[in-house]
Chains A and B, each alone.
Chain A
C-alpha cells in the first residue's frame, strides 16, 4: 500500500499547482523509498529513463521550421486561404482533420499530423480563421476553445486510428502479452475488434465538433451583447 504514496503526491501536487517537474521528481523518489529501492538505484533509474525517452522531445526539431514560417506569415496565409472557401467552418475543418488523422493512422501513417507539425501552424489558425470569417471578431475565450478542440481532434484521431493498424506497437504489445500467458493471437484478430470503438470515437467527437459551430455563434453573440450594454 505504501508504494501508492507516489500516486498521492502526484494528485495532491498537481492539484495544489506546484511545478509538475518538481512534483514528479518528488513522487518518483518517494515511490522508490517506499518500495525499498536504494537511493543510488533511484538516481540510475531516473537517468536511464530520462535518456531513453528523449524521443518524446523530438518535436523540438520542428520548431526552427515552424518558427521561420510563422515569422513570415504562415498563420496569416492559412487564414487568407480559408477565407476563400465559403463552406468552411471551424467545426467542419476540424471534422475533416479528425477524419484524415484517424484514417491515416489506421493505415499506419501516424506521423501524418501532430501538434507541433500540423495543429499549431495549420489546423488551429484555419479553424480560427473560418470562425472569424463567419462570425466576426472572436472573444478570447472562444478562440482558446477552438484551439483546444483542434488539439483534441489530433489526439482522438491518432489514438483511435492507430490500433487498427496491425503493425502498430500496441497491437504487438498485446500479442506478446497473451503469448507469454499461453494464448496465441494473430495481430489481425486484435485489430479487427478495435474497429467498433474507432468508429464510435469518430462519431462522438465529430458530433461535438459539429455542435461547436453553434457554441461559437452563441458565444460571439453573447460577447457582442455584453459590449453593447457596457457601451450604453
Chain B
C-alpha cells in the first residue's frame, strides 16, 4: 500500500517530538525535563515501534505512568493570542475559518467510503485494514496545509498550538491506551470468567425476567469495569446470554446480541475507564471536573438501560 498506518504513526511521532522539544526549552515549566521526557517517550513509541521490542515498550509505558504519577507532567507558557487579536482575526477571515475544520471529517469520509479500493500502479492507495485511521491522517495533513495558507501562520506555530492543546489534556491523552493494556491483562488472567460465574450463581435461572435483567445489567457493569463493551460481550454472552436466555428459555439470539451490546454501551457512558469518550473530552473542553461528561451522561444511561431491559424482555422471547 502507498499510505500505511505506520506512516500516520510516524507523523504523530514527529508532532509529539516537536511538543517534547518545546517543553524542554520552556523555562516557565518547573518540571520541564520530566514533562519533556514524558512526551519524548510517547513520541518514541510512535517513531521506533519496529525497533523497540515489546518488553521494552512495556517498560516505556510504565515509565510514562510513573512520570505522570509523581506529578512530572506540567503545563508551561504558550505566548497565547489575546482576545482582541482573535476577534480581529475572526472579523478578517470570517467563515473561511470553518473550511479546514470541516475538511477533516469530509476527507476522512471520502477516503473511507470512496477511496478504499483505489489502487495506483497495482498498489493500494490506502491501507485497507485501517482505512478510516489512515484517511483521518491524510485529512489532517490537508487540513493543516489549508489552515496555514488561510491564516498565513507557520508550521512552527501549528506545533506550538498543538502543544498548548496537548498540555491542557496532559497525561489523560495516554489514558485510553493504558486502559486498553489493562483490558489485555484482564483477559489473560481470566477476570471475565470469574465475573460471569459470580453473576450466574447469584440469580434465579428459572425466572425469565431475572435472567434478562442480569444479562443486560451485567453487560453494563462489566463494560464499566473493562471500559469497553466489546470486551464484555463475549464473556457475558458465553456466561449468561447463550446458556440461559437462548438455550434454556429459547430466546432469539439476534435480539439478545443487539440489545445486549447496547446495554454495554450504557455502561460506557458511565465509566472513567472509557477514557477516550469520557475523560479526554472533559480535558479537551477544559472542564474543571474530569468526570463532568460522565455526570451529565448518567441519567441518560440509566433510563436507557431500564428501557433496554424491558425491550429485551418483551422482544427476545416474542420473535423466534
Q: Could you say which interface size class chain B belongs to?
A: 35 or more
B87 adjacent to chain A (CB < 8 Å): yes
Given A67-B158, A68-B157, A193-B315: A60 touches B98 (CB 8 Å cut-off):
no
B188 touches A32 (CB 8 A): yes
A178 touches B257 (CB 8 A): yes
B225 touches A197 (CB 8 A): no
Q: Chain A: which residue is nearest B165 at the CB level?
A: A63
Complex alpha-carbon distance, A64 and B57, angstroms = 27
Q: Chain A: which residue is nearest B104 at the CB level?
A: A117
Q: Which residues of A contact B205 (CB under 8 A)?
A: none
A67 touches B292 (CB 8 A): no
Given A57-B176, A190-B257, A197-B304: A71 touches B15 (CB 8 Å cut-off):
no
Complex alpha-carbon distance, A147 and B105, angstroms = 21
B121 adjacent to chain A (CB < 8 Å): no
A116 adjacent to chain B (CB < 8 Å): yes
Q: Could you say which interface size class chain A belongs to?
A: 35 or more
Most buried by A among B9, B133, B147, B190: B147
Given A45-B184, A122-B101: A111 touches B135 (CB 8 Å cut-off):
yes
Residue numbers of A with Cβ under 8 A of B are 1, 3-4, 6-7, 10, 14, 18-22, 24-25, 27-28, 31-32, 34-35, 37, 40-78, 80-81, 108-122, 124, 144-145, 147-152, 154-156, 159-160, 163, 169-170, 173-174, 177-178, 181, 183, 185, 189-194, 196-198, 200-201, 204-205, 208
B296 touches A149 (CB 8 A): yes
Complex alpha-carbon distance, A78 and B148, angstroms = 19
Contact with A along B107-123 (1 / 0, CB 8 A): 01100110000000000
Q: Which residues of A contact B308 (CB under 8 A)?
A: 197, 200
Q: Which residues of A contact B143 (CB under 8 A)?
A: 62, 65
B285 touches A24 (CB 8 A): no
- Determine the main DSSP class of B at the interface with A: helix
B16 touches A60 (CB 8 A): yes
B181 touches A50 (CB 8 A): yes
Contact of B182 among A28, A67, A76, A177 (CB under 8 A): A28
Q: Which residues of B contact A10 (CB under 8 A)?
A: 182, 225, 273
Complex alpha-carbon distance, A144 and B292, angstroms = 8
Most buried by A among B136, B153, B171, B281: B281
B55 adjacent to chain A (CB < 8 Å): yes
Q: Which residues of B contact A4 (CB under 8 A)?
A: 191, 194-195
B194 touches A208 (CB 8 A): no
A156 touches B300 (CB 8 A): yes
Contact of B285 among A61, A69, A118, A119 (CB under 8 A): A119
A112 touches B105 (CB 8 A): yes
Complex alpha-carbon distance, A189 and B86, angstroms = 51
- Beyond the given A24-B65, A148-B296, A197-B308, please list 10 additional residue pairs across the A-B interface where CB-CB is below 8 A: A28-B182, A35-B190, A58-B133, A68-B144, A72-B151, A76-B86, A111-B112, A144-B289, A151-B281, A190-B258
B176 touches A197 (CB 8 A): no
